[in-house]
Structure formats: C-alpha cells, structure tokens
Homo-oligomer: A and B are copies of this chain.
C-alpha cells in the first residue's frame, strides 16, 4: 500500500508538471500558479500544494521539466557516432527542427522566454535559469572546441564566440517563427548556423 501510494504520487506530480509546462510555454512561469493548476486538473489546491509546497518550488520544478523536454528534443537526438564539426552540425539541425516545430508545447523556446521573464528578478528561479543558460553555452562551446581538436575548425577558432553566435541565431529564429510566423526563418537559421559553426 505505501509503495503504491509513492508511485501514485509520482504519477500525479508528473501530470501536474506536464500541465504546468504547457501553461508556462504560453503565459510564462509567472502564469503557473497552484490555483490555476488545481482548476485545470480538477484537483484541490491542497492536493497540488502538497506536491510542491510553494509557488517558487512549483516554478523551479516546471522549469526543470521543460529543460528535460528540451534535452530529449535537441541534444539527445545527436547521433552518438558523430564527431567534430559533424556533431556540431547535427546539434544545430536538431535545434532548428525543435524551433520549427514550435519549441516546448508550441510556446517557442522556453529558455529564452524564461530568461527575459526572470533576468531582472533576483532569486532562486533566476539562478536556475542563468545556470541552465550557462550550461547550454558551455555545451555548445565544448562541441566547437572538439571540432578544433579534430582539425575540422582552424586552431585560432574562439569556441565561446561560436557558442554566442549560435545562441543568437536560435533566438532570432524563435522570434521570427513565434512572433512573425515567418516560414523562411528555419532555412535562414540553418544557413546562419552552418556559417557561424565554420561551414562551407
């Protein structure tokens, strides 16, 4: 009986977070409230509250869940066998696919939205967003540095500059797709990323 309860609690928590990610993708993390989730899921407020304990804990868990979705949709799709510049290009292609298909829950790039929402509000949510953005830039930089090591990119390449530029191209594509509904954006992003990543 206790074992079954723990499994049920995990399922309920996951169901709350699935819904929270959908709300946050549309209305931002500030739109995720215990009251709104309780209404949407036909649960009591106390029932939702019990899984998180505070609005801030709920926002942090929602952000983590969205980051995990992004991880499955983008870096997890890069073939394990790819190395050097091919690895970086596979990542760019998966990233553009993700943006082209609307990002998380069709709400666009979650990290970009959370960054502009929380960059001016000190606290644990801002810290979590800044850490996730920093990890992502470090990962891009690592892939660019690996392409220098294999000799695919020239030795004087600045991997951090490549990470900075790729991140910007993705944000431009995200805005063009989400705000302008610009069908040409994925192709523009592909061209720009392959150039920024040292393409031919």
Contact = CB atoms under 8 A, between A and B. Distances in A.
Interface residues of A, number: 42
Interface stretch (A7-15, A81-89, A116-124): A116-124
B178 A120 contact: yes
A164 B192 contact: yes
B117 A116 contact: yes
B164 A176 contact: yes
B175 A115 contact: yes
A165 B175 contact: no
Contact of A167 (B27, B115, B172, B178): B172
Interface in A121-171: 121, 126, 129-130, 133-134, 160-161, 164-165, 167-171
Interface in A159-200: 160-161, 164-165, 167-173, 175-176, 178-180, 184-185, 188-189, 191-192
A27 B165 contact: no
Interface stretch (A40-48, A59-67, A69-77, A105-113): A105-113
B120 A27 contact: yes
What is the interface of chain A mostly: helix, strand, loop, or mixed? helix
A188 B121 CA distance: 25
Nearest to A117: B28
B130 A179 contact: yes
Given A130-B180, A179-B129, A192 B120 contact: no
A26 interface: yes
Contact of A175 (B133, B169, B173, B178): B133
A33 B61 CA distance: 28
Contacts of A113: 116-117
A95 to B, nearest CB: 13
Interface string A1-38: 00000000000000000000000011110100000000
A22 to B, nearest CB: 11
